[in-house]
């Protein structure tokens, strides 16, 4: 069971949060010129990394706001919590 | 190798069971094979078995990083059914169900397939309409499906709570009579024994560490036991498919999540069928040992840890205790998780890749066990012929670029 430190509300149980999947996937700006391969990659393909994974989470049963976390998908350890729009923190894989 | 029969059993009983031969060998890997299957779960072993038995390829190695059947094959709730919504899905799962029906005879190994029926409950009129739609779709696709009323449910499963005043009352359900359960370990062991008999090398404790790819073609695998050459490789690695794909420079649309299950202490037979509910998220059956086998949901986040979180278990237990009040005093004996590879459309991927000779069979998500024989047969066909069987053609990786998805979130029954 995870204890997530919401940047606005402080530490809360994982039951209050929803995981929004892999983070740092930017919506393409040239969407009118994209082919099927680029669209498929953007919409569906995920790194699904084993190790340190960068994710979006939302404090749905709290402040309702989105934030980013870096979490190990092996140990579930949360290594960093940072704001949407911030760069990925430097962490070992 | 001994053929199992009443006569060999009697003969070995007279010798106090001291002379049974090993069911399969534990060979050292040879430097090269005609084909390598990565992953020694049910699907991988079935693939090797059908490649040898039906497609005449005997020079095959199955590489397993742990022990065979130690992943999701040994961690599921053993439910077998084929009542999926889309015709493509009905075809692929019913192909598997037809193979289940003759599997013990085919393998000369009792996989204990028990077609005791699977019931999917409806708890409100909206769900009733959705399930009726699935019944009609199943009937059109040639899959048996029927509606059962609460009165019939009381006869089919006396311990089910049919009180109309509970939080989510049962208004009816669908029944697939040909569906049921099977013994999951026996499936791995039966396919392993059958494949070994055909000359397949099953190599356990052999982890793949890389792919040998030259000029866009697969040449072999790098493993913890050294390099092994093969011009044809099929990867059947469930939750770890993305990890292997990344080694080959391929991206997959998968997310790996823990899916949990638990069993109660063994009790006398109380449950003659399998009951599933999407709405309250619970499914339960009784094993031949007497344990109630309960399936929970997946955790909402990516994990490779083979353990799930407690809130998921709590939600499932809450639903089970309301649906089956006799369980409220039962002790739960064991609880575990397997890492399942979830696809965006809740349908599997059996596909070639941009690398020549490299094929993937993955994305079975929360419902792979039921498909074991069909998945193995279709993947073997795809590998041997180097082109998909008509049944698995709609399940290529290409669908995530063309948009021809096979959405099965409703029929997959486990919430994603």
Of the candidates A1, A48, A55, which has its C-beta nearest B309's C-beta? Answer: A1
- Are B276 and B359 part of one and the same domain? no
Say if residues B230 and B35 touch (Cβ distance below 8 Å).
Answer: yes
Q: What is the DSSP string of B251-283?
A: -BS-EEEEEEEEEE---S----SEEEETTTTEE
- Are B221 and B247 part of one and the same domain? yes
- Are B264 and B222 part of one and the same domain? no
B260 found inside a domain: yes
- Are B243 and B263 part of one and the same domain? no
How many domains in chain A? 1
Q: Give the mean model confidence (pLDDT) for residues B145-154.
A: 98
- Are B101 and B192 part of one and the same domain? yes
Tell me if A44 and B344 make a contact (CB, 8 A cut-off): yes
- Are B338 and B373 part of one and the same domain? no
ipTM of the complex: 0.95
- Are B38 and B60 part of one and the same domain? yes
Tell me if B251 and A49 make a contact (CB, 8 A cut-off): no
C-beta pairs of B312-318 under 8 Å, 24+ apart in sequence: B312/B260, B313/B260, B313/B262, B315/B281, B316/B260, B316/B262, B316/B281, B316/B282, B318/B280
Please tell me the pTM assigned to this model. Answer: 0.96
**How many angstroms away from the CA of B252 is the closest CA of chain A?**
5
What would the pLDDT profile of B349-362 be if each residue is shown by its tens digit? 999 999 999 999 99
A56 found inside a domain: yes
Q: Give the mean model confidence (pLDDT) for residues B50-54.
A: 98
Of the ranges A1-5, B34-38, B78-82, which one carries the lowest mean pLDDT score?
A: A1-5
- Are B352 and B295 part of one and the same domain? no
B1 found inside a domain: no
Tell me if A47 and B242 make a contact (CB, 8 A cut-off): yes
Residue A28 backbone dihedrals phi, psi, to 5 degrees: -65, 140
A62 found inside a domain: yes
B26 found inside a domain: no
Nearest Cα to Cα of residue B374 among B98, B41, B90, B141: B98
Owning domain of residue B319: 118-180+255-342
Residue B1 has pLDDT above 80, yes or no: no
What would the pLDDT profile of B183-216 be if each residue is shown by its tens digit? 999 999 999 999 999 999 999 999 999 999 999 9
Q: Which residue of B has its CA nearest to A56?
A: B301
Residue B412: per-residue pLDDT = 80
Confidence of residue B2 (pLDDT cuts 50, 70, 90): confident
A8 found inside a domain: yes
Chain A residues inside the 8 Å CB shell of B242:
46-50
A61 found inside a domain: yes
What would the pLDDT profile of B229-258 be if each residue is shown by its tens digit? 999 999 999 999 999 999 999 999 999 999
Tell me if B242 and A46 make a contact (CB, 8 A cut-off): yes
Domain end marker among B318, B342, B366: B342
**How many angstroms away from the CA of A42 is the closest CA of chain B?**
10
User: Is any Cβ of chain B less than 8 angstroms from the Cβ of A77?
Assistant: no
Residue A34 has pLDDT above 60, yes or no: yes
Residue B19 has pLDDT above 70, yes or no: yes
- Are B320 and B358 part of one and the same domain? no
| Cα–Cα dist A84/A63, whole Å | 15
B298 found inside a domain: yes
How many domains in chain B? 2
Q: Give the mean model confidence (pLDDT) for residues B317-331.
A: 96
A90 found inside a domain: no
Q: Which residue of A has its CA nearest to B401?
A: A40
Residue B261 has pLDDT above 90, yes or no: yes
A58 found inside a domain: yes
Q: Which residue of A has its CA nearest to B399?
A: A40
Owning domain of residue A44: 3-26+38-82
Kindly report the CATH number assigned to the domain that includes residue A16: 3.30.2270.10
Kindly report the CATH number assigned to the domain that includes residue B338: 3.30.9.10
**How many angstroms away from the CA of B332 is the closest CA of chain A?**
19
């Amino acid at each position: 069971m995870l204890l997530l430190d919401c940047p606005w509300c402080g530490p809360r149980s994982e039951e209050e949060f929803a995981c929004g999947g892999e983070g740092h996937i930017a919506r393409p700006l040239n969407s009118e010129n994209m082919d099927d391969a680029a669209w498929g990659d953007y919409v569906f393909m995920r790194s699904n990394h084993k190790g340190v994974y960068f994710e979006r989470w939302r404090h749905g049963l709290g402040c309702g706001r989105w934030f980013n976390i870096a979490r190990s998908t092996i140990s579930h350890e949360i290594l960093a919590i940072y704001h949407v729009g911030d760069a990925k923190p430097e962490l070992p894989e | 190798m001994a053929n199992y029969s009443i006569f060999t059993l009697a003969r070995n009983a007279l010798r106090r069971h001291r002379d049974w031969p090993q069911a399969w060998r534990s060979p050292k890997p040879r430097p090269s094979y005609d084909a390598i299957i990565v992953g020694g779960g049910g699907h991988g072993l079935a693939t090797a078995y059908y490649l040898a038995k039906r497609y005449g390829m005997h020079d095959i190695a199955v590489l397993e990083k742990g022990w065979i059947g130690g992943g999701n094959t040994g961690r599921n709730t053993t439910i077998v059914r084929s009542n999926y919504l889309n015709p493509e899905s009905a075809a692929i799962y019913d192909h598997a169900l037809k193979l289940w029906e003759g599997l013990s005879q085919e393998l000369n190994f009792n996989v204990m397939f028990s077609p005791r029926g699977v019931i999917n409950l409806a708890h409100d009129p909206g769900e009733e309409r959705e399930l009726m739609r699935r019944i009609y779709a199943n009937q059109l696709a040639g899959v048996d499906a029927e509606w059962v009323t609460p009165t019939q449910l009381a006869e089919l499963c006396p311990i089910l709570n049919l009180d109309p005043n509970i939080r989510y009352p049962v208004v009816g359900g669908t029944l697939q009579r040909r569906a049921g359960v099977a013994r999951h370990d026996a499936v791995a062991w039966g396919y392993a024994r059958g494949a070994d008999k055909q000359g397949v090398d099953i190599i356990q404790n052999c982890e793949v560490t890389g792919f040998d790819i030259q000029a866009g073609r697969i040449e072999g695998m790098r493993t913890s036991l050294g390099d092994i050459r093969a011009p044809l490789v099929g990867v059947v690695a469930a939750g770890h498919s993305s990890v292997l794909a990344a080694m080959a420079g391929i991206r997959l649309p998968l997310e790996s999540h823990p899916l949990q299950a638990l069993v109660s202490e063994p009790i006398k037979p109380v449950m003659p069928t399998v009951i599933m509910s999407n709405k309250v998220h619970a499914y339960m059956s009784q094993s031949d040992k007497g344990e109630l086998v309960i399936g929970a949901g997946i955790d909402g986040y990516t994990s490779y840890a083979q353990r799930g979180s407690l809130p998921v278990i709590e939600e499932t237990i809450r639903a089970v205790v309301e649906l089956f009040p006799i369980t409220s005093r039962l002790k739960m004996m064991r609880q575990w998780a397997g890492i399942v590879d979830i696809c965006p459309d809740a349908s599997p991927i059996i596909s070639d890749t941009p690398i020549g000779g490299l094929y993937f069979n993955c994305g079975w998500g929360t419902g792979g066990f039921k498909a074991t024989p069909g998945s193995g047969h279709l993947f073997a066909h795809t590998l041997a012929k180097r082109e998909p069987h008509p049944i698995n053609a709609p399940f290529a990786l290409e669908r995530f670029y063309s948009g021809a998805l096979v959405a099965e979130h409703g029929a997959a029954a486990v919430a994603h």
